[in-house]
Amino acid sequence: MTDYAIGDIQGCYDRLLDVLSTIGFSPSRDRLWVAGDLINRGPSSLATLRYIESLDGAAEVVLGNHDLHLLAVALGGKPLKGKDTLADILEAPDRDRLLEWLRQQKLCVYDADRDLLMSHAGLPHIWSVEEALGYAKEVGAVIRGPEARYYFEHMYGNVPERWQPDLAGMDRWRIITNYFTRMRFIAGDGTLELTTKETVDKAPEGFAPWFTFPRSGQTRILFGHWAALEGNTNSDRYIGLDTGCVWGGLLTVMNLDTGEKTHCDCQ
């Protein structure tokens, strides 16, 4: 059995099949870790979602901001945006089953044997692995529970900008969600800057890429979300998997044990 991790698919179903064929992926034998943003912006969101859902126990999935956006439209009454490619899911006969499956996915997963953590946007230096798993579980319970509609009605926003342990209710859930699914640049005290999406040299004053701050331990962190990096963090510990397939870049799969990366050209 081989475990692989893949970056943001974003509805690029044909390219997903291409790269999985290249590595000889078999769900009867292998597992696929998916770093969030399964859907949206690409041409085949429904087919992608159906395929990942069909993998069942052969897939380890974390939620990305685009996945949460689908749930916010479906459950929270939020409008579709101009570039969204989610209508095929919302109109599908198996819509309810797919949305319920998506609600069951986590914000963060951790493999203790490999000392390897995956979330869509990464892990802020102000949280330990144990804290992150606890906060992810906390918000995951809200997404799956009776407060889900309220959560998705109020999920969007950049406030509060910084984690504080005494935060409660929607403010607490929103900042946890933003760290796991929207983070790129961050300050030393944990303040998020959520408007800049460019490369590391475009960091706003007082901010830096989250993965440049020191943290204890040796935990490796898999993440997607930041296509402008093209997968480059200059670190073997922080592994960027979003190589911009939906923007005409690459779709990247990595062998979790060897570190070997396989790419599919998405032009």
CATH number at residue 147: 3.60.21.10
Give the pLDDT band (50/70/90) at residue 32: very high
Give the pLDDT band (50/70/90) at residue 249: very high
Boundaries of domain holding 162: 3-183+216-265
User: Does 208 fall in a domain?
Assistant: no
User: Does 194 fall in a domain?
Assistant: no
Identify whether the C-beta of residue 41 lies closer than 8 Å to the C-beta of residue 3.
Answer: no
pLDDT tens digits for 202-247?
999 999 999 999 999 999 999 999 999 999 999 999 999 999 999 9
User: Does 75 fall in a domain?
Assistant: yes
User: Does 174 fall in a domain?
Assistant: yes
Give the pLDDT band (50/70/90) at residue 115: very high
User: Does 68 fall in a domain?
Assistant: yes
Dist. CA 41–CA 38, nearest whole Å: 10
User: Does 37 fall in a domain?
Assistant: yes
pLDDT tens digits for 194-205?
999 999 999 999
Burial 212-245 (b: 16+ CB within 10 A, else e): eeebeeebbbbbbbbbbbebebeeeebbbbbbbb
Question: How far is CA 91 from each of CA 74, 87, 94, 98, 262, rounded to the nearest angstrom?
Answer: 11, 6, 9, 12, 34
pTM: 0.98
pLDDT tens digits for 4-18?
999 999 999 999 999
pLDDT at 234: 94
User: Does 192 fall in a domain?
Assistant: no
User: Does 203 fall in a domain?
Assistant: no
Mean pLDDT of the chain: 97
Domain total for the chain? 1
Give the pLDDT band (50/70/90) at residue 267: confident
